């Protein structure tokens, strides 16, 4: 059994990861991974957005507040944005968000943003395997006492 | 609200991993869902009919279909829904194939995930509203980038269809790589004999505007209305005046490498690329011109011989860079390919041995219009070779140089060159080192047989380990994997089958066009099977080897295919624009105009309300729906239809429930 299959089978955790993917590159990359039957852990739920530049930092924060254990945002590689420069704006906002997440008392490793093109199915698979493993190590997100 | 839910088996593609019956049953119990069924193939005609009938019978007002990626069938289902009279934007797809059934094995987990994805989609669809397209006028002109055979074919087909064409070529002449070839496989017909008439047609067609020696500076706009800035490099010859007599080239005292002949033989600083060039005009290469060189050194030199001998006063050293603006409705990218530079192969001499040449250099030696007038003379001493060795897969199918893919054309051109070698030098012997012979198209296999039987080419299956010079020749040492022994061939000339790589600068062009490309730099088609000449960016198309290695018949076919696609697009007077665009709620707008600054399309304008306040407004036909302004707006007064904050947060909430 390959390492990848082992990683995927080891699936007894109860974590949830929300991924916001831009329609043009990363959503296509996840589609390419699917078309190529590249097996992945099942913890990730994908929300389609037009561009990473559409992401209001409120969305990942809302996901954490509602109990998501990890949030991943992925778009076109820098310079390859379908909308010319949307991902550059996203990069600045999300870089700042990393510090804010830490400030809010959430481990900042629970959040990441990446660039995956529509042809990079294998890269998407590896990214998911690695990210899920990272979140599993952190365990479920702590619930807020009210 | 009456939600209808349909889940697709997709044969066993989905139902094999996801328990679709269980999902349908679960969803039927959700609030507002009045119809929940599983269908074998939702995209099929009977599947669509079931959906249409259900919408009518159950008076459904929102539709969710759980099936493949929306990139696949969103449009299909929107059309079906539209037929019922329901607004097609009151619909959403849950991707449970590419993002679920195809990537998981565990049925229970996959089913649970599918349910959650469907709940998320239902939460979104409940917040949809009816949306309506706008119409925008179409500019019925097409820009074609690259004047190789694919671009020429596309240009001629477009022009013959009555459309205005702007054909931009980087080199001084159109013709591309095909113009450099001697003969073509599998018919051994002369390349220029079949290409030249097409080049002349393209040059003379009243609908085709040729801009050579020019590159794309910038591209803005969107399908139907692109604005393109073309940078015309200074050739220091007035192309309008030049008659292509060639006297300047004959009299020019400055030697320069001959670019068209790939460095074999000498050229001049002012040159006409080849006799059949279109347009047949001279161009000065600045770095080799005596006048420009002396000017750079601050000396006054009066060379300017070309200017003196020119009968029509076409030479003009004062010509500056020129920028031409063109408005077009569609763009065809046909920028072709380059050949792998074999100097990274140290075992083949790393480019140090003059008699180890590239396949395209060999074409120039074979060509009657080449540096040796069609006589095969090896570069080092001009001797006619008795033994020629061909080596396949130089920069193809080789992970060690980062080129794992097959270049597709090399097996065939090696066979052709072996046949032509025998034709030119009947006494010669040819050896071909190969890994596999790939001859998959019409009449190709027979052609390879012809090289083996008629031309006597000796095919040796195996790689070459080393080439080294000895006694004025070259020893080619390799292995014959079929015999399981080492072989050594004493060669006079070695021809490498250089692989196909993406054209220099094609990635920068892709970024200007906002189209994706793969890790090797080849431009990506919209779908590997179903959209071979479209890109993901509406209005931009691909033809020829810029998409991946291709032979001439395929490049021509793609040139015609893009022309067909573009004619379909430009035959409409107006295009429907996507209604998924931004909208400013002017009562909340504070008039900061940050949205205007970030908008990549200049789709935001300032308007004055009745109360005199200045606010932002989106021009819906220009907006492309990226949502950048929405995330930027500090007063949250912009929404993106189809992707509202409300909808995205509802999706998050549904997933975290």
Q: Is A34 on the interface with B (CB under 8 A)?
A: yes
Could you tell me how far CA B496 lies from the centroid of its own chain? Answer: 26
Indicate the fold that domain B578-641 takes in CATH. Answer: Alpha-Beta Plaits (3.30.70)
pLDDT of residue A143: 66
Q: Is A35 on the interface with B (CB under 8 A)?
A: yes
Could you tell me how far CA B89 lies from the centroid of its own chain? Answer: 32
Nearest CA in chain B to A36: B102
- A45 contact residues in B (CB cutoff 8 A): 113, 116-117, 120, 655
Put simply, the answer to whether B117 touches A45 (Cβ < 8 Å) is yes
Put simply, the answer to whether B120 touches A83 (Cβ < 8 Å) is no
Least confident of A9-23, B6-20, B345-359, B638-652: A9-23
Scanning A52-81 for CB atoms below 8 A from B yields 53-56, 58-59, 62-63, 66-68, 76, 79-81
Nearest CA in chain A to B124: A47
- A68 contact residues in B (CB cutoff 8 A): 652, 655-656
For residue B576, what are its two tokens? 């429907």
Q: What is the ipTM of this complex?
A: 0.93
Q: CA distances (Å), B201 to each of A114, B205, B215, in order?
A: 49, 6, 22
Give the pLDDT confidence of B45-86 residue by residue, as tens digits: 999 999 999 999 999 999 999 999 999 999 999 999 999 999
User: Closest approach of chain B CAs to the CA of A54, in angstroms?
Assistant: 5
Please spell the DSSP secondary structure of B505-543, one letter per residue: THHHHHHHHT--B-TTSPBPPSBTTTBSSB-SSTTEEE-
CA neighbor of B316 nearest in space, from B232, B213, B236:
B236
Put simply, the answer to whether A37 touches B97 (Cβ < 8 Å) is no
Put simply, the answer to whether B109 touches A49 (Cβ < 8 Å) is no
* Residue A146 confidence class, pLDDT cut points 50, 70, 90: low
Mean pLDDT of chain A: 90
Question: What H or E segment, with its residue span, contains residue B448?
Answer: helix B444-453
Give the pLDDT confidence of B19-56 residue by residue, as tens digits: 999 999 999 999 999 999 999 999 999 999 999 999 99
Neighbouring CB atoms inside 10 A of B74's CB total: 17
Q: State whether the Cα torsion B339-B344-B349-B352 is positive or negative.
A: positive
Please report, for chain A, the start and end positions of each structural domain, with discontinuous segments joined by +: 14-138
User: Closest approach of chain B CAs to the CA of A61, in angstroms?
Assistant: 10
Q: Say which residue the tokens 């200007």 belong to.
A: B512
pLDDT of residue A14: 83
Put simply, the answer to whether B106 touches A76 (Cβ < 8 Å) is no
- B226 contact residues in A (CB cutoff 8 A): none
- B116 contact residues in A (CB cutoff 8 A): 45
The stretch B177-197 carries a mean pLDDT of: 95
Beta carbons of B335 and B503 less than 8 angstroms apart: yes
Beta carbons of B470 and B441 less than 8 angstroms apart: no
Could you tell me how many helices (H) and strands (E) chain B has, helices first?
A: 17, 34
Every domain of chain B with CATH number 3.50.50.60 lies at: 141-233+321-336+503-570, 338-501
Is the pLDDT at A3 greater than 60? The verdict is no
Is the N-terminal amide bond of B353 cis, ω within 30° of 0? Answer: no
Q: What is the number of alpha carbons within 13 Å of residue A62 lying toward its C-beta?
A: 19
Indicate the fold that domain B3-125 takes in CATH. Answer: Rossmann fold (3.40.50)
Nearest CA in chain B to A89: B628
Report the distance separating Cα B106 and Cα B138, nearest Å.
Answer: 50
Phi then psi dihedrals of residue B301, to 5 deg = -120, 140
- A33 contact residues in B (CB cutoff 8 A): 98, 103
CA angle B117, B121, B125 (to 5 degrees): 175
Q: Is A127 on the interface with B (CB under 8 A)?
A: no
CA neighbor of B373 nearest in space, from B427, B414, B424:
B424
* Residue B415 confidence class, pLDDT cut points 50, 70, 90: very high
Instruction: Provide CB contacts within 8 A for B409, sequence distance 6+.
Output: B500, B549, B550, B551
Cβ neighbourhood burial of B517 (10 Å; 0-12, 13-18, 19+):
buried
Report the distance separating Cα A124 and Cα A130, nearest Å.
Answer: 10
Scanning A81-120 for CB atoms below 8 A from B yields 81-86, 89, 93, 117-120
User: Closest approach of chain A CAs to the CA of B121, in angstroms?
Assistant: 9
The stretch B442-447 carries a mean pLDDT of: 96
pLDDT of residue B49: 97
* Residue B263 confidence class, pLDDT cut points 50, 70, 90: confident
Report the distance separating Cα B277 and Cα B369, nearest Å.
Answer: 12
pLDDT of residue B297: 87
Q: Which of B71, B112, B626 minimises the CB distance to A86? A: B626
Q: Is A47 on the interface with B (CB under 8 A)?
A: yes
Give the pLDDT confidence of B630-652 residue by residue, as tens digits: 999 999 999 999 999 999 999 99
Greatest alpha-carbon pair distance for chain A in Å reads: 46
Q: What is the pTM of this model?
A: 0.88
Is the pLDDT at A2 greater than 70? The verdict is no
pLDDT of residue B601: 87
The stretch B285-312 carries a mean pLDDT of: 90
User: Closest approach of chain B CAs to the CA of A29, in angstroms?
Assistant: 10
Buried b (16+ CB within 10 A) or exposed e, A109-137: ebbbbbbbbbbbbebbbbbbbebbeebbe
Indicate the fold that domain A14-138 takes in CATH. Answer: Rossmann fold (3.40.50)
Report the distance separating Cα B130 and Cα B631, nearest Å.
Answer: 23
Put simply, the answer to whether B626 touches A50 (Cβ < 8 Å) is yes
- B71 contact residues in A (CB cutoff 8 A): 23, 27-28, 31
Buried b (16+ CB within 10 A) or exposed e, A55-76: bbbbbbbbbbbbebbbbbbbbb
Put simply, the answer to whether B628 touches A47 (Cβ < 8 Å) is no
Q: What is the number of alpha carbons within 13 Å of residue B458 lying toward its C-beta?
A: 11
* Residue B526 confidence class, pLDDT cut points 50, 70, 90: confident
Put simply, the answer to whether B640 touches A54 (Cβ < 8 Å) is yes
For residue B354, what are its two tokens? 């003059």
Report the distance separating Cα B447 and Cα B275, nearest Å.
Answer: 30
Edge to edge, the sheet with strand B141-145 lists B208-211, B164-168, B141-145, B330-333, B540-542
Give the number of A-B residue pairs with CB atoms closer than 8 Å.
Answer: 150
- B95 contact residues in A (CB cutoff 8 A): 31, 46, 48
- Partnered with residue B3 across adjacent β-strands are B33, B62
CA neighbor of B117 nearest in space, from B18, B16, B13:
B18
pLDDT of residue B456: 96
pLDDT of residue A5: 54
Collapsed DSSP state (helix, strand, coil) of residue B76: helix
Beta carbons of B16 and B40 less than 8 angstroms apart: no
Give the pLDDT confidence of B467-501 residue by residue, as tens digits: 999 999 999 999 999 999 999 999 999 999 999 99
Put simply, the answer to whether B103 touches A40 (Cβ < 8 Å) is yes
Instruction: Provide CB contacts within 8 A for B627, sequence distance 6+.
Output: A49, A50, A51, A53, A54, A86, B582, B640, B643
pLDDT of residue B609: 94
Nearest CA in chain A to B68: A31
Please spell the DSSP secondary structure of B587-632, one letter per residue: TT--S--HHHHH-TT--EEEEE-TTS-EEEEE-TTT-----HHHHH
pLDDT of residue A49: 97
Is the pLDDT at A144 greater than 60? The verdict is no
* Residue B516 confidence class, pLDDT cut points 50, 70, 90: confident
Could you tell me how far CA B228 lies from the centroid of its own chain? Answer: 18
CA angle B97, B101, B103 (to 5 degrees): 100
Q: Is A18 on the interface with B (CB under 8 A)?
A: yes
Report the distance separating Cα B436 and Cα B630, nearest Å.
Answer: 55
Report the distance separating Cα B317 and Cα A123, nearest Å.
Answer: 52
Give the pLDDT confidence of B88-126 residue by residue, as tens digits: 999 999 999 999 999 999 999 999 999 999 999 999 999
Q: CA distances (Å), B249 to each of B94, B258, B424, in order?
A: 66, 12, 29
Q: How, if at all, do strands B500-502 and B337-339 pair? A: antiparallel
Q: Is A139 on the interface with B (CB under 8 A)?
A: no
Nearest CA in chain A to B639: A54
For residue A83, what are its two tokens? 């909308």
Right CATH for B338-501 from 3.50.50.60, 1.20.140.10, 3.90.1300.10, 3.40.630.10: 3.50.50.60
Is the pLDDT at A13 greater than 80? The verdict is no
Put simply, the answer to whether B624 touches A83 (Cβ < 8 Å) is yes
Put simply, the answer to whether B105 touches A84 (Cβ < 8 Å) is no
Express as a percent the part of chain B with pLDDT over 90: 93
Every domain of chain B with CATH number 3.40.50 lies at: 3-125
Q: Could you tell me which CATH number the domain at B141-233+321-336+503-570 has?
A: 3.50.50.60
Q: Say which residue the tokens 């054309």 belong to.
A: B409
For residue B497, what are its two tokens? 């089958």
């Amino acid at each position: 059994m390959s390492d990848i299959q082992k990683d995927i089978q080891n699936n007894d955790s109860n974590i949830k990861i929300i991924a916001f993917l831009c329609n043009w590159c990363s959503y296509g990359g996840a589609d390419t991974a699917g078309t190529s039957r590249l097996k992945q852990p099942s913890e990730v739920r994908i929300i389609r957005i037009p561009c990473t530049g559409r992401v209001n930092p409120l969305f990942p924060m809302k996901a954490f507040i509602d109990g998501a254990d990890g949030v991943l945002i992925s778009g076109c590689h820098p310079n390859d944005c379908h909308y010319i420069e949307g991902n550059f704006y996203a990069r600045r906002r999300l870089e700042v968000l990393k510090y804010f997440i830490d400030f809010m008392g959430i481990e900042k490793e629970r959040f990441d943003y990446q660039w995956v093109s529509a042809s990079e199915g294998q890269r998407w698979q590896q990214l998911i395997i690695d990210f899920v493993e990272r979140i599993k190590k952190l365990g479920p997100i702590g619930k807020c006492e009210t | 609200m009456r939600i209808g839910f349909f889940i697709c088996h997709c044969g066993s593609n989905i139902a094999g991993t996801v328990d679709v019956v269980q999902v349908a049953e679960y969803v039927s119990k959700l609030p507002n869902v009045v119809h929940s069924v599983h269908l074998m193939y939702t995209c099929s005609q009977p599947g669509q009919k079931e959906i249409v009938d259900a919408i009518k019978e159950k008076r459904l007002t929102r539709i969710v279909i759980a099936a493949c990626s929306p990139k696949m069938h969103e449009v299909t289902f929107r059309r079906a829904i539209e037929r019922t009279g329901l607004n097609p934007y009151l619909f959403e797809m849950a991707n449970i194939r590419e993002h679920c059934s195809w990537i998981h094995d565990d049925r229970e987990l996959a089913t649970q995930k599918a349910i959650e994805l469907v709940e998320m989609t239902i939460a979104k669809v409940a917040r949809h509203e009816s949306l309506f397209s706008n119409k925008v006028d179409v500019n019925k002109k097409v820009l074609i980038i690259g004047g190789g055979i694919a671009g020429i074919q596309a240009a001629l087909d477009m022009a013959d269809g009555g459309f205005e064409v702007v054909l931009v070529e980087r080199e001084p002449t159109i013709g591309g790589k095909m113009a450099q070839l001697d003969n073509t496989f599998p018919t051994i017909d002369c390349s220029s004999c079949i290409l030249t008439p097409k080049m002349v047609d393209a040059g003379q067609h009243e609908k085709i505007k040729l801009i050579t020696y020019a590159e794309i500076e910038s591209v803005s706009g969107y399908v139907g209305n692109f604005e393109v800035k073309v940078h015309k490099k200074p050739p220091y010859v007035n192309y309008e005046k030049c008659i292509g007599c060639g006297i300047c080239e004959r009299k020019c005292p400055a030697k320069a490498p001959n670019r068209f002949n790939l460095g074999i033989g000498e050229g001049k600083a002012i040159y006409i690329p080849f006799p059949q060039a279109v347009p047949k005009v001279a161009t000065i290469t600045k770095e080799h011109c005596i006048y420009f060189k002396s000017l750079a050194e601050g000396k006054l030199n009066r060379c300017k011989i070309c200017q003196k001998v020119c009968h029509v006063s076409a030479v003009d050293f004062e010509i500056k860079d020129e920028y031409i603006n063109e408005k077009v409705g569609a763009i065809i990218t046909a920028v072709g390919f380059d050949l792998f530079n074999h100097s990274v192969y140290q075992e083949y001499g790393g480019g140090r041995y003059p008699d180890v040449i590239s396949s395209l250099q060999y074409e120039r030696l074979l060509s009657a219009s080449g540096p040796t007038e069609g006589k095969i003379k090896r570069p080092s001493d001009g001797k006619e070779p008795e033994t020629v060795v061909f080596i396949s897969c130089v920069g193809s199918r080789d992970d060690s140089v980062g080129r794992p893919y097959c270049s597709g054309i090399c097996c065939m051109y090696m066979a052709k060159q072996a046949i032509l070698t025998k034709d030119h030098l009947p006494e010669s012997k040819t050896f071909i080192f190969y890994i596999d012979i790939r001859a998959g198209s019409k009449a190709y296999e027979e052609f390879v047989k012809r090289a083996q039987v008629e031309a006597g080419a000796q095919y040796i299956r195996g790689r070459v380990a080393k080439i080294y010079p000895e006694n004025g020749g070259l020893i080619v040492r390799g292995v014959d994997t079929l015999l399981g022994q080492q072989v050594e061939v004493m060669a006079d000339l070695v021809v490498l089958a250089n692989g196909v790589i993406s054209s220099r600068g094609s990635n920068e062009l892709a970024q200007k066009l906002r189209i994706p490309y793969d890790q090797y730099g080849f431009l990506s088609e919209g779908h590997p099977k179903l959209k071979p000449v479209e890109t993901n960016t509406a209005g931009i198309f691909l033809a020829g080897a810029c998409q991946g290695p291709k032979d001439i018949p395929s490049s021509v076919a793609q040139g015609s295919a893009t022309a067909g696609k573009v004619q379909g697009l430009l035959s409409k007077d107006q295009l429907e624009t996507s209604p998924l665009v931004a909208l400013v709620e002017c009562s909340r707008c504070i008039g900061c105009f940050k949205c205007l600054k970030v908008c990549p399309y200049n789709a935001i304008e300032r308007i004055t309300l009745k109360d005199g306040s200045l606010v932002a407004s989106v021009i819906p036909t220009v907006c492309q729906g990226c949502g950048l302004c929405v995330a930027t707006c500090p007063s949250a007064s912009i929404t993106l239809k189809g992707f509202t904050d409300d909808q995205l947060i509802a999706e998050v909430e549904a997933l975290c429930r």
